[in-house]
Amino acid sequence: DVVLTQTPVAQPVTLGDQASISCRSSQSLVHSNGNTYLEWYLQKPGQSPQLLIYKVSNRFSGVPDRFIGSGSGSDFTLKISRVEPEDLGVYYCFQATHDPPTFGGGTKLELK
Amino acid sequence: EVQLVESGGGLVQPGRSLKLSCLASGFTFSNYGMNWIRQAPGKGLEWVASISSSSSYIYYADTVKGRFTISRDNAKNTLYLQMTSLRSEDTALYYCARRGYDGYYPLWFAYWGQGTLVTVSS
């Protein structure tokens, strides 16, 4: 199975600062059809996860433009500029290029 | 508004069975693939199973293959997860989630329910 390794495990931040989360895959996530099925989810405290980013860098409906996904191959990053209180929680990367689909272990964005 | 409401969770003894349901509303259920994802207490997310809109394609995680069955009733707008031979490691919050699309590009878990808790313990 593809292993997605997220770093850091916890990211202390000050509101208004930028945060960056890395997601590295044990294999390239480029599908044979040329697409890269890499998504990012945020699970706020006490809530269900919500989709933020799909296809590496596309924001889902209603997601603010301070969330920026980037990367290629097996190395991906989610940047959150100007962190706001509602951005706190656990972020997960997810891949569906290879079967079975797998999640990263999560990165907790918390206040410093 | 897309709504997914899971039910059927509870406390069950190891080796027993349980059937989860997910009632969908706010969209044409028969047009979308559906999924189950679980989260053990204090842990991360694990994809469990997927089913296509017409039930033609069904996939399972190896950890549940042969024990869990995903199904759907498009007339009732309901997704199911039949769980048998339950183990303590199946204890988790079980979410149903709907696929999404950007044109033809699939979004795996575009909408999530609130989850239903399954506890496997004697």
Q: How does pLDDT run across B51-101, given as a tens digit for each residue?
A: 999 999 999 999 999 999 999 999 999 999 999 999 999 999 999 999 999
The verdict on a CB contact (< 8 Å) between A106 and B108 is: no
Cis peptide bond N-terminal to A12, omega within 30 = no
The verdict on a CB contact (< 8 Å) between A103 and B45 is: yes
Cis peptide bond N-terminal to B41, omega within 30 = no
Mean pLDDT over B108-118 rounds to 97
- Residue A3 near residue A26 (C-beta atoms within 8 A): yes
A39–chain B Cβ distance below 8 A for any pair: yes
Residues A28 and A2: their CA atoms lie apart, in Å, by 9
Q: What percent of chain B has pLDDT over 70?
A: 100
- Indicate whether A95 pLDDT > 90: yes
Q: What percent of chain A has pLDDT over 90?
A: 100
A10, A85, B56, B63, B115 from A13: Cα distances, Å: 10, 10, 46, 36, 29
Residues B74 and A15: their CA atoms lie apart, in Å, by 45
The verdict on a CB contact (< 8 Å) between B109 and A106 is: no
- Indicate whether B103 pLDDT > 90: no
For chain A, positions 79-98, list CB contacts with chain B under 8 A.
90, 92, 94, 96
Residues A80 and A112: their CA atoms lie apart, in Å, by 15
Of A95, A90, A94, A76, nearest to A22 by C-alpha is A76
The partner residue sitting opposite A49, judged by closest CB among B45, B59, B106, is B45
A111, B54, B80, B88 from A10: Cα distances, Å: 10, 41, 35, 28
- Residue B49 near residue B68 (C-beta atoms within 8 A): yes
Mean pLDDT over A85-107 rounds to 97
- For residue A48, the chain B residues in CB contact (below 8 A) are 95, 112-115
Q: What percent of chain B has pLDDT over 90?
A: 95
Q: Which of A31, A37, A48, A103 to mutate to test the interface with B (most CBs of B within 10 A)?
A: A48
- Residue B72 near residue B79 (C-beta atoms within 8 A): yes
Mean pLDDT over A90-96 rounds to 98
B100–chain A Cβ distance below 8 A for any pair: yes
Read off the pLDDT of residues A7-35 as tens digits, 9 standing for 90 and up. Answer: 999 999 999 999 999 999 999 999 999 99
CA-nearest residue to A96 within chain B is B108
Could you write out the DSSP letters of every residue in B81-101? EEE-S--GGG-EEEEEEEEEE
The partner residue sitting opposite B112, judged by closest CB among A49, A90, A103, is A49
The partner residue sitting opposite A92, judged by closest CB among B45, B62, B113, is B45
Instruction: Please report the sign of the dihedral spanned by the C-alpha atoms of residue B67, residue B70, residue B76, residue B78.
Output: positive
